[in-house]
């Protein structure tokens, strides 16, 4: 198996926060959802992938290449979309084309123009006059037009209406028709990941809680609901986290460790995150 991204024991200490032994692998040809609450370390990790910050220790590779030693070669093969379009707001889509064709060896002006037409992006209107949805579509067109092998997405659909989000997700799925392409998708909108992700990596307080196949993750866990007294019937080793509510308690359990006689609800990615972030140890 080959990997688009390999992160091993990444460490960085900041004044108020630290990344601790962050490790995960994104197999080539797959989509990984990168999730965690605000301040968990998602954007910091992405900045290390892009060689925008200097790590204390650890190893970061993209396409099997060291991210520092092969920085220029790697950036020719990746497309990046942040939560907003960080270019001078006086520029328009046409002017951006003239700039990027000088930066990327594989810049495809015809494909860029095709994407602008598809997204109905006005080519002469300054960025400052575009809606948030249009700005994000332009950002995605910029990321795709040099035919990258890896998309790194940091909250690209945040704040967008469902119709625009669906349109963007469709484009990402088209990108994945090439089995050599891969996506790292950081987002708070976990329902988007349930639609398209193959893997989920969850970071909490600077540490990776898990990095697993999405379908296996959603199958491995179950949610049991009942009273404290009833919960004593559950095997102790099956219990992962507990949350109290107005009607009793909810317990996240390892499904394989619980007898099938117990009724378990299927969790969402958001459910699992909330149990780990806000739930108590049982």
Q: Tell me the domain boundaries of the chain.
A: 3-216, 218-278
192 vs 155, 200, 203, 240, 262, CA distance in Å?
Answer: 11, 12, 18, 25, 30
The whole-number pLDDT of residue 99 equals 96
CB 166 within 8 A of CB 91: no
Phi, psi of 8 (to 5 degrees): -130, 120
Q: Is 97 in a helix, a strand, or coil?
A: helix
**HSE of 251, CA atoms in CB hemisphere, 13 A:** 26
Q: Give the whole-angstrom CA distance, residue 211 versus residue 279.
A: 19
Classify residue 247 by burial, with Cβ atoms within 10 Å: 0-12, 13-18, 19+: exposed
159 vs 151, 155, 162, 163, 210, CA distance in Å?
Answer: 20, 9, 9, 12, 27
239 vs 113, 128, 232, 233, 271, CA distance in Å?
Answer: 54, 51, 10, 11, 15
CB 83 within 8 A of CB 38: no
Q: Give the whole-angstrom CA distance, residue 106 versus residue 102.
A: 10
The whole-number pLDDT of residue 97 equals 97
The whole-number pLDDT of residue 280 equals 76
pLDDT of the chain, 282 residues: tens digit per residue: 899 999 999 999 988 899 999 999 999 999 999 999 888 999 999 999 999 999 999 999 999 999 999 999 999 999 999 988 889 999 999 999 999 999 999 999 999 999 999 999 999 999 999 998 899 999 999 999 999 999 999 988 887 888 888 888 999 999 999 999 999 999 988 989 999 999 999 999 999 999 999 999 999 999 999 998 999 999 999 999 999 888 889 999 999 999 888 999 999 999 999 999 888 777
Assign domain 3-216 to a CATH class: alpha beta
Q: Give the whole-angstrom CA distance, residue 10 versus residue 102.
A: 33
Q: Give the whole-angstrom CA distance, residue 243 versus residue 252.
A: 8
Eight-class DSSP state of 48: H
Q: Supply the angle between the helices 162-175 and 132-144 in degrees, to the nearest 10.
A: 0
Q: Which residues pair with 225 in a beta bridge?
A: 250
pTM higher than 0.85, yes or no? yes
Q: Give the whole-angstrom CA distance, residue 70 versus residue 194.
A: 33
Angle at alpha carbon of residue 209, lines to 199 and 249, rounded to 5°: 105
């Amino acid at each position: 198996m080959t990997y688009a991204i390999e992160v091993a024991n990444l460490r960085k200490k900041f004044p108020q926060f630290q990344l601790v032994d962050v490790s995960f692998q994104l197999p080539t040809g797959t989509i990984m959802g990168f999730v965690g609450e605000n301040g968990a370390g998602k954007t910091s990790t992405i900045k290390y992938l892009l060689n925008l910050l200097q790590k204390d220790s650890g190893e970061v590779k993209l396409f099997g290449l060291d991210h520092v030693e092969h920085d220029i070669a790697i950036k020719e093969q990746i497309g990046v979309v942040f939560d907003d379009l960080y270019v001078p707001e006086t520029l328009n889509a046409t002017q951006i084309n003239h700039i990027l064709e000088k930066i990327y060896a594989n810049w495809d002006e015809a494909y860029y123009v095709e994407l602008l037409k598809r997204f109905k992006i006005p080519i002469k209107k300054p960025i400052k006059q575009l809606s948030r949805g249009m700005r994000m579509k332009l950002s995605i067109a910029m990321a795709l037009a040099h035919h990258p092998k890896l998309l790194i997405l940091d909250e690209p659909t945040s704040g967008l209406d469902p119709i625009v989000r669906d349109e963007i997700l469709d484009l990402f799925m088209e990108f994945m028709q090439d089995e050599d392409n891969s996506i790292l998708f950081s987002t708070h909108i976990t329902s988007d990941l349930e639609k398209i992700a193959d893997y989920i990596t969850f970071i909490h307080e600077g540490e990776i809680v898990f990095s697993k196949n999405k379908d296996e993750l959603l199958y491995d866990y179950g949610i049991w609901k009942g009273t404290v007294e009833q919960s004593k019937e559950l095997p102790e080793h099956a219990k992962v986290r507990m949350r109290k509510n107005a009607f009793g308690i909810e317990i996240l359990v390892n499904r394989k460790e619980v007898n099938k006689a117990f009724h378990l609800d299927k969790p969402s990615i958001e459910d699992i995150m909330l149990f780990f972030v806000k739930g108590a140890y049982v």
